[in-house]
Amino acid sequence: MKPLRQVSAADVAELTSALSDALAGGDAVWPVPGAGGPGPIVTEVDDEVALVIETSGSTDAPKRVTLSADALIASADATADRLDGPGRWLLALPGHYVAGAQVLVRSILAGTSPVLPQDGPFTPEGFAAASARLTADTPRYTSLVPVQLARILDRAEHDAFVAAALVGYDAVLVGGQALAPALATRAHELGARIVRTYGSSETAGGCVYDRRPLDGVDVRIVDGLVELSGPMLASGYLDDAERTAAAFTTDARGHRWYRTGDLGELAPDGSLRINGRADDVIISGGVKVVLGEVERAIRAVPGLAEAVVVAVDDARWGQRPVVVVTGAASSVTLAELGAATDASGLAPAARPVRIAVVDSMPLLASGKPDRRRLSQGLLDSGAN
């Protein structure tokens, strides 16, 4: 056993130093948001654990994921192999989320220092100014969530400096949630090198890039759910043997698998398609509806790249999909949304029954939509 030390993710220099020590076998690190650290040693963990990441809790109660140094290094090495080799990174995400922590790990292993935007909330202008500090003598990378990419693209339409900053990266990893097709198209038309990533804290970050597993990663579908295997799998959940046993299994060959909770399918060429969360499946009039598939269809409608689909109870149908949009997209009609779901081959039960307009989309600190808050807001408003 060895100590687990809380470190403030806001102090990037200290967090980087602590992570470097942890990768070399030193005390395990638990990054915490804001000025909550550095704190005292809070507990002890197995010797193999290097990092503890608390999940965002977007659809489930937060979990504390334990990652070994070997898992973090395997993930970073596989990323470098898939991209243009080790490089220099811009840290645009908080270090207490796995994508931010992995930017630091990749930087440590590459022997480089991450570039940081200005203090305060993320802005496209700050992103561009920080990007200008990256030199051209090594590959340049960054990792974003879709809402950040959307803000950069919106600004890039009127600001050549911001546009040049985004286009200047050898790869921009985008993950954390599904990337709307319209948003991806805008990025590609600008000339940005976008890489869609799929993974989680339990896989030490993204382990499927542009639907293709990284080297060493195996994917299978069991009962419709995506399961992942590879050297970057987490050890489990801190002080939660029951959750660990439910999520991580070992097959007859001794391979460990992580049961993701995501619905997906494998194409004959081995590429992976994610259809949505298993816990986002509703039964509407006796028909199974995957809200993730509805959301993907809706986001293909011009102006709805950031729309969110949630469920509301219905006395007759059981549950029905509702589309949540911001005021700027409120001119869309239910007929247009129904046409979009029909065009995607979804059942009539997938057609949204209401458009809920909010002033701004509530987000988790990770940049993901706060679906619980949206659903609760519709419930409180008596939506039906």
Structure confidence at residue 364 (pLDDT): 72
Split at pLDDT 50, 70, 90, the class of 276 is confident
pLDDT computed for residue 382 by the predictor: 47
The length of the chain in residues reads 384
CATH architecture of 2-266: 3-Layer(aba) Sandwich (3.40)
Residues 130-186 pLDDT 10s? 999 998 889 999 999 988 999 999 999 999 999 999 999 999 999 988 888 888 999
Predicted confidence band at 383 (pLDDT cuts at 50, 70, 90)?
very low
Kindly report, as residue ranges, where domains of CATH 3.40.50.12780 are found in the chain: 2-266
At residue 78, does pLDDT exceed 70? yes
What value does the mean pLDDT take over residues 223-252?
Answer: 96
Higher-confidence position of 206 and 63: 206
Work out the pLDDT band at 35, boundaries 50, 70, 90: low
The pLDDT value given to residue 331? 82
Q: Letter for the amino acid at 298?
A: I
CATH class of the domain whose range is 277-380: alpha beta
Structure token digits, residue 107: 């930087």
Structure tokens belonging to residue 352 = 């949204």
- Residue 377: its pLDDT value, please? 73
pLDDT at residue number 37: 46
Residues 291-304 have a mean pLDDT of 89
Question: Which of 29-43, 145-159, 348-362 is predicted with the least confidence, judged by mean pLDDT?
Answer: 29-43
Mean pLDDT, to the nearest integer, of 256-263? 96
Per the model's pLDDT, the better-predicted residue between 217 and 177 turns out to be 217
- Please state which of the ranges 11-15, 65-69, 87-91, 368-372 shows the lowest mean pLDDT: 368-372
Per residue, the 3-state secondary structure of the chain, as one string, reads CEEEEEEECCCHHHHHHHHHHHHCCCCEEEEECCCCCCCCEEEEECCCEEEEEECCCCCCCCCEEEEEHHHHHHHHHHHHHHCCCCCEEECCCCCCCHHHHHHHHHHHHHCCCCECCCCCCCCHHHHHHHHCCCCCCCCEEEEECHHHHHHHHHHHCCCHHHHHHHHCCCEEEECCCCCCHHHHHHHHHHCCCEEEEEEEHHHCEEEEECCEECCCCEEEEECCEEEEECCCCCCEECCCHHHHHHHEEECCCCCEEEEEEEEEEECCCCCEEEEEEHHHEEEECCEEEEHHHHHHHHHCCCCCCCCEEEEEEECCCEEEEEEEEEHHHCCCCHHHHHHHHHHCCCCHHHCCCEEEEECCCCECCCCCECHHHHHHHHHHCCCC
Question: Where do the CATH 3.30.300.30 domains begin and end in the chain?
Answer: 277-380
pLDDT value at 265 more than 80: yes
User: Is there a contact between 53 and 16 (Cβ–Cβ < 8 Å)?
Assistant: no
Report yes or no: 150 and 124 within 8 Å, Cβ to Cβ. Answer: no
CA 21/CA 108 separation, integer angstroms = 10
Query: Which of the four pLDDT bands, split at 50, 70 and 90, describes residue 384?
Result: very low
pLDDT tops 70 at residue 56: no
